[in-house]
Amino acid sequence: MYNLLTLDDVNLRHKNVVVRVDFNLPIIEGKVTDSTRILRSVPTIRDIIKVNGKAILLSHFDRPKGKFIKEMSLEQVVKKAEEVLNHEIIFVKTDWNNMDEARKIIASAPLGSVFLLENTRFHPGEEKNSSKLAKNMASLGEIYVNDAFSVSHRAHASTEAIAHLLPAYSGRALEKELKALSDGLDNPTHPVIAIIGGAKISTKIDLIENLLKKVDGLVIGGGMANSFLYAMEIGIGNSLCEKNLKEIVERIMDKADEEHCAIILPIDANVAWELKTNAKHRFYGLDAIEPNGMILDIGPRSIERIKGAIDEARTIIWNGPLGAFEYEPFDAGTIEIAKYVADRTKQGNLISVAGGGDTVAALAKAGVIDKFTYVSTAGGAFLEWMEGKPLPAIEALKLSRDKIKNK
């Protein structure tokens, strides 16, 4: 579907290559606690420096709102990035309004050097998609590479505007991510089952309505399943529920019938009377939940029902936990289903693609991140892709592709 130009389509030798990476990493007490996003940028950086190109890395970090905040400087990720890349990284304390010093540092460094510039969001023009800031960024190189799917839903200077100013290509991580997503939903092997969880249906209406047109079955879990059960006049006790969305839920169920998409809801539940770790709990059928009880996880019969759907599937798309996975034992349903999907994937029976912040955390807790076909570290971009929305940075790469091909 995307058919973008990649690093295979351009000569990188001795070129200055501006690369948008995502080094917005979790840091505790000055130390990076998860280097996954650095690891995924390594193939692109190595492809540049192995032919004596210079890799000039752009990234944001946190939300400084256009101001310099020392605690949000990218300088603190340099050491970890050097360890992962096994290569020196030159940190450039960038003045985004005047790139003369940055250009001098880059020009004077030897071929094959890697540079990390300061937090792009220290300049207010980044999030405003400023053409002036994008020109300053573009002045550093001859080629632009987007290797950060996680911010490709943002029309920012370093993701969208710059792609109109330099010949623009997709990096290895972006290329891999888009292929995985295309295999998962755009051109999947059917039957396709989507597993959608989380607390509220209000945040995922667009996502669900788009999926109904593309998947064969939709497993609904988490707090959002309660809104479906309520609309079906099934007692949910004191569970989290958006009762005001009953008409929307009914519309979704009608649309599912029209699209011949099966909606798979819980048929039993793990119920507690307070939300905390190791709270007193019991399994109930959905016809017997006490008025003051809260549904916090799916029950054993629901787990078996979902496993049956997975057995029939060839492709699984997953976003959102099936219960209050942050609190044991209400993580049990999510973990058991995650391990089942991982086993089916390992056996070669399933393509499994997952993404979203809570989803990644839940799969990490289950110990199966590396056992899915692909797990996206993107949050908002993954959701907007699932909703069928165009991603501004990807659209910019398409325009650059067409411009290059028409030369």
Average pLDDT of span 379-398: 92
Give the DSSP H or E segment for 31.
Answer: strand 31-32
Q: Which residue has the tokens 């607390």?
A: 199
Determine whether 405 is an active site residue: no
* Percentage, residues of the chain above pLDDT 70: 100
Rounded CA gap, 240 and 200, in Å? 8
171 is known as an active-site residue: no
**For position 185, what pLDDT does the model report?**
82
Which pair of tokens denotes residue 362? 């839940």
- For the question of residue 20 being annotated catalytic, the response is no
Beta strands in 40-148 (DSSP E): 54-58, 90-92, 114-117, 143-146
**Residue tagged active-site, from 66, 112, 357, 388:** 357
- Cβ neighbours of residue 297 under 8 Å, at least 6 residues apart? 269, 270, 322, 323, 324, 329, 330, 331, 332, 333, 334
pTM of the model: 0.88
Domain spanning 188-376, CATH class: alpha beta
Q: How far is 149 from 392, CA to CA, in rounded Å?
A: 11
Per-residue confidence band for 30, with pLDDT thresholds at 50, 70 and 90: confident
Catalytic residue (one of 37, 121, 214, 344): 37
* Cβ neighbours for 289, distance < 8 A, ≥ 6 positions apart: 235, 236, 237, 239, 269, 271, 295
| Structural fold of domain 7-173+390-405 | Rossmann fold (3.40.50)
Taking only the tens place, the pLDDT of each residue in 121-164 is 999 999 999 999 999 999 999 999 999 999 999 999 999 999 99
Q: How confident is the model at residue 378 (pLDDT cuts 50, 70, 90)?
A: confident
| Cross-strand bridge partners of residue 315 | 192, 351
The one catalytic residue in 200, 246, 251, 389 is 200
Q: Answer yes or no: same fold for 7-173+390-405 and 188-376.
A: yes
- Is 380 noted as a catalytic residue in this protein? yes
Catalytic residue among 66, 112, 235, 380: 380
Query: Pick from 53, 60, 194, 79: which is nearest to 124 by CA?
Result: 60
Spell out the domain ranges in the chain. Answer: 7-173+390-405, 188-376
Query: Tens digit of pLDDT for each residue in 335-367?
Result: 999 999 999 999 999 999 999 878 988 999 999
